[in-house]
């Protein structure tokens, strides 16, 4: 007697497989078309505040980038050194590339660790280090009520103070040599200066580390 085998049904999977996303280095993200969705794994170098309540800056071993939160607010108490892990997309805001995180649940933070050391650069090289924390040394060439300019011979760069960082301009004079740390940010065009890049101290710690070398006069014989 021949038995007929009935086909069996394939059981449904008990759970939907989860795709593993490999974080993309910031330097690689900057080479991709604007609008790319990626996951970043980096370190906070500038918490919310100096660039706005919804903007922070992160850095990995390949570079740095500002991060904008579309809705909600970043957690309070973020400091340089917090780990940053998020899913988002690249976009242009003004002339600058940024990483856009639509909702806070798409980002997570880990406890603070080591903070990357500022990169020492020439004053004229600021445009090559957008949104990086740098240290520069140069001679004061120009004074403004809330800024001064310094130049090491490679080109002058503006060091702003005021409402953006809540700092008063330190007392410096033309001809003095100054060493200072800050974040390279966009310099808006005005009637007296073109658009470009400037180095903004992030807070009291950067100004507290200000080093001023005052020129000495040669004694008369």
**For 50-98, what is each residue's pLDDT tens digit?**
888 999 999 999 999 999 999 999 999 999 999 999 999 999 987 789 9
CA distances from 101 to 113, 149, 211 (A): 23, 35, 37
pLDDT in the model for residue 77: 94
Higher pLDDT among residues 43 and 22, named by residue: 43
The alpha carbon of 38 is separated from its chain's Cα centroid by a whole number of angstroms, namely 18
- What number is the average pLDDT over the span 131-135? 95
> In the chain, what are the domains?
26-110 (2.40.50.200), 119-213 (2.40.50.140)
- Mean pLDDT of the chain, nearest integer: 87
Say if residue 54 is exposed, middle or buried (CB neighbours under 10 Å; 0-12, 13-18, 19+). Answer: middle
Q: Is the pLDDT of residue 14 over 80?
A: no
pTM of the model: 0.80
pLDDT band at 8; cut points 50, 70, 90: very low
Q: What is the largest CA-CA distance in the chain?
A: 128
């Amino acid at each position: 007697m021949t038995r007929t085998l009935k086909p069996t049904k394939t059981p449904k999977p008990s759970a939907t497989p989860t795709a593993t996303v490999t974080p993309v280095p910031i330097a690689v993200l900057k080479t991709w078309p604007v609008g790319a969705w990626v996951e970043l794994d980096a370190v906070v170098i500038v918490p919310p505040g100096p660039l706005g309540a919804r903007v922070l800056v992160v850095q990995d071993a390949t570079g740095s980038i500002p991060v904008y939160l579309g809705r909600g607010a970043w957690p309070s108490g973020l400091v340089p050194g917090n780990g940053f892990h998020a899913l988002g997309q690249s976009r242009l805001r003004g002339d600058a590339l940024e990483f856009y995180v639509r909702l806070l649940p798409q980002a997570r933070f880990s406890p603070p660790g080591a903070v990357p050391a500022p990169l020492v650069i020439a004053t004229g090289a600021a445009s090559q280090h957008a949104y990086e924390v740098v240290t520069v040394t140069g001679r004061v060439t120009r004074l403004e009520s809330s800024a001064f300019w310094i130049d090491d011979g490679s080109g002058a760069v503006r060091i702003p103070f005021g409402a953006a960082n809540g700092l008063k301009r330190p007392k410096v004079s033309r001809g003095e040599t100054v060493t200072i740390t800050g974040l390279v940010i966009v310099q808006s065009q005005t009637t007296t200066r073109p658009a470009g890049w400037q180095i903004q101290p992030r807070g009291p710690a950067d100004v507290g580390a200000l080093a001023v070398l005052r020129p000495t006069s040669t004694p008369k014989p």
